[in-house]
Structure 1
Amino acid sequence: MELYLIRHGQSEANLHGIIQGHADYPLSGLGKKQAAILGEYSASLKADNIYSSDLVRAKETAEAIADQRSLEVKTWPEIREVGLGPFEGRTRIDILEKYPNLKHESLLTSGVEGTETAENITQRCREVIRLLKEKHQNETTVLVSHGGFISILLTFLMAGDEWPKMDRPFIIGNTSITKVEIDDTGKAKFHYINKTAHLEEKEESLTSTVLY
């Protein structure tokens, strides 16, 4: 089974440094341009299925990919961004004013009340891999998701349920492409991570990464 994990284009929240989580923001003008560039570039990638997070920034990006091929985008809530509760809709500076202890911590696994628990995220990762193996074992599938969830899923593929104990080393940029192969035993092989060659070839199409 081969997977292409793709992050959405720049959203309006990304543009203004706002933490999103489950909050639903559309693509920015640049994000729409990035998605179009991605769509053209990805036309050369093999794909049997395209799944998207149910959040609009991911769906808009997935549609740009689907426009280049005769595939329907299937919406999948399991691959939406990590829920960040009280952090959503706020800048990191605002968040740190109230939670200064998080200055050097990841917001994705802060444990703050109202944010999605590590246990729930783990269950989502398990379910995603299980369903993909069940339905698409011998196929190539595109998942259009979010920076936080993609970085966690990659860590989960490396460490399983122990992923919360690991430092996630992955930078996941807007419309970046990550290719993963999962063999019949469930072992993951990483072909490449955070590939943004399609944006690097276009002037002023890259964006800075929002760190969670």
Structure 2
Amino acid sequence: MWRCRRGGGCPQGRHCRDITNLSSLGFLGLYHGFQATDAAVEKQTCCRITLPRKRRAYQGTPPADQVLLCMTNCPTLIVMVGLPARGKTYISKKLTRYLNWIGVPTKEFNVGQYRRDLVKKYKSFEFFLPDNEEGLKIRKRCALAALNDVRQYLSEENGHVAVFDATNTTRERRETIYKFGEENGYKTFFVESVCVDPEVIAANIVQVKLGSPDYVDCSNDEATEDFMKRIECYKNSYETLDETLDKDLSYIKIMDVGRSYLVNRVMDHIQSRIVYYLMNIHVTPRSIYLCRHGESELNLKGRIGGDPGLSVRGKEFAKSLAQFINEQNIKDLKVWTSQMKRTIQTAEALGVPYEQWKVLNEIDAGVCEEMTYEEIQENYPLEFALRDQDKYRYRYPKGESYEDLVQRLEPVIMELERQENVLVICHQAVMRCLLAYFLDKPAEQLPYLKCPLHTVLKLTPVAYGCKVESIFLNVEAVNTHRDKPENVDISRPPEDALVTVPAHQ
């Protein structure tokens, strides 16, 4: 049951931003201190609980009462630790991408980039020598500039998580950063990447550092030699996180990119999710294949949702997909589908074992299931306009939003990170969500990513991102992509609402 705090006659109904879900009686009872019954709820004034837009950045030690107030939901500062070529930036970028995808505003602050912006031309490893006073001053200046931007992001711009990507190899430097977090009311969580396997280190150097802006004018051999000397500059002063000396810190220590882990003092749900994610990622070369089911009978008619079978062309695509996968000669390929008929029929043509995931089912359109866009505009013009205004957060009546779908698909992302070669046969909205994760697309763009029928996307994770290849399998299909119309006003004429609807039977 939904109630607007302004009274029962709110014209926006359940779409009002001041609503409170009164079905959450346990929460309301706990918060307001009364027995959670319908009668009790009716007698209470339900208030909208909000957080301040700006958080105060403290200079010096914060008052004790303020520290207590931010114990649960205060911002998180993630601090990377480790020698160069240990995968810190790789981890930073993946973690930032994941947290943003699940709806936690996160930003990465790479101190190396601050140094490159300040010192336009890199000369050699000598810049990093411990007795190079000028180099030390510049690096300290860059670190302070990055921390100042961290404060700006977390305290003034409503950021939730900042990732401070630098070596941070000494206990003294980490203590300084920890105090910075305390003074500003942040929780600090350290992520250390330790590599002792020479093959892992060599692979990191080849894949990442040889493509660094520092070495654009160097040969591979020159770059490798200089970078190895740069690593030596840090080794003598490197102090790893210690179970005894750092027992009061919150951290995860990752050995050889996932061979083993050490986790200490995880303090809240954000840190728990970070740890869980980091324990699932790996760097083994692999490819992920994403495609939609073959064209369905309802696709031909322009109807959304439902559980139809494949059209004639859809069955032809299934055969072409089987031929394509066979020609790829993919080692240990796993095939995943939803539990809907059209993805299962597509997978059956492959002639290989496949797994059905209910969480891969198409977005639930609620009361609009199996309707055309024209019928939705005719019967629910307000809903149609509201969805165009904010397609990511809009929830169909008795259905789902893209935001809901992202939360539903998080276990799939975790498993995809754990696996090697996988083919996922899914649906348009589901494929958009998965693609947005791998390509680091923001929520506003996610619902409009183009995922045409009868096209396979091959995703190959690379050093700091993902390479995408689009393969059309030469079987024609209807277009199901609808762009956002220019006019999204709730009083728009029908022709403006339907201008971007693709053609159908």
Category of TM-score, reference length = shorter chain: 0.7 to 0.9
Deviation at 1:76, TM superposition (A): 1.2
2:293 is equivalent to residue 12 of structure 1: no
Deviation at 1:128, TM superposition (A): 0.8
Give the 5 Å matches for 1:34-49.
34-45=317-328, 46=330, 48-49=333-334
Q: Which residue does 2:287 correspond to in 1?
A: 2
* Equivalent residues of 1:79, 1:149 under 8 A apart: yes
Q: Which residue does 2:461 correspond to in 1?
A: 182
* Equivalent residues of 2:394, 2:402 under 8 A apart: no
Question: Where do 5+ consecutive residues of structure 1 fail to align?
Answer: 200-204
Question: Are the structure 2 counterparts of residues 34 and 2 from structure 1 closer, same or farther at C-alpha, using a change threshold of 3 Å?
Answer: same
Q: From 116, 124, 128, give the equivalent of 2:408.
A: 124
* Equivalent residues of 1:155, 1:168 under 8 A apart: no
What letter corresponds to residue 468 of structure 2 in structure 1?
Answer: H
In 1, Cα distance between equivalents of 2:403 and 2:431: 16
Give CA-to-partner distance per residue, 1:85-135, whole Å, 9 cap, x none: 11111111001112334258286753232221344312233211112223x
Give the 5 Å matches for 1:151-162.
151-159=432-440
Deviation at 1:27, TM superposition (A): 0.5
* Equivalent residues of 1:125, 1:156 under 8 A apart: no
Q: Percent identity?
A: 23
Give the 5 Å matches for 1:80-99.
80-99=361-380
Between Structure 1 and Structure 2, whose CA radius of gyration is higher?
2
Q: Which residue does 1:26 correspond to in 2?
A: 309
Q: Which residue does 1:207 correspond to in 2?
A: 477
Q: Which residue does 2:341 correspond to in 1?
A: 56
Deviation at 1:144, TM superposition (A): 0.5
What letter corresponds to residue 452 of structure 2 in structure 1?
Answer: G
Q: Which residue does 2:469 correspond to in 1?
A: 192
* Equivalent residues of 2:295, 2:478 under 8 A apart: no
Deviation at 1:8, TM superposition (A): 0.6
Give CA-to-partner distance per residue, 1:42-80, whole Å, 9 cap, x none: 211225211111111001111212x2xxx3011111222
Q: From 154, 157, 172, give the equivalent of 2:451.
A: 172
State the SS of the aligned residue for 2:412: helix
Question: Are the structure 2 counterparts of residues 125 and 190 from structure 1 closer, same or farther at C-alpha, using a change threshold of 3 Å?
Answer: farther
What letter corresponds to residue 14 of structure 1 in structure 2?
Answer: N
The number of residues matched between the two structures is 192
State the SS of the aligned residue for 1:177: strand
Give the TM-score, by structure 2 length.
0.35
In 2, Cα distance between equivalents of 1:16 and 1:108: 25
Q: With CA pairs under 8 Å and 6+ residues apart, which has the higher RCO, 1 or 2?
A: 1
Question: Are the structure 2 counterparts of residues 108 and 25 from structure 1 closer, same or farther at C-alpha, using a change threshold of 3 Å?
Answer: farther
Deviation at 1:166, TM superposition (A): 2.9
Q: Which runs of 4+ in 1 moved over 6 A?
A: none
Question: Are the structure 2 counterparts of residues 142 and 188 from structure 1 closer, same or farther at C-alpha, using a change threshold of 3 Å?
Answer: farther
Q: From 333, 340, 360, give the equivalent of 1:79.
A: 360
What letter corresponds to residue 361 of structure 2 in structure 1?
Answer: R
2:416 is equivalent to residue 145 of structure 1: no
State the SS of the aligned residue for 2:289: strand
Give the TM-score, by structure 1 length.
0.79
* Equivalent residues of 2:402, 2:429 under 8 A apart: no
Q: Which residue does 2:381 correspond to in 1?
A: 100
Give CA-to-partner distance per residue, 1:139-159, whole Å, 9 cap, x none: 211000011210122113334
Question: Are the structure 2 counterparts of residues 206 and 125 from structure 1 closer, same or farther at C-alpha, using a change threshold of 3 Å?
Answer: same
In 2, Cα distance between equivalents of 1:19 and 1:128: 23
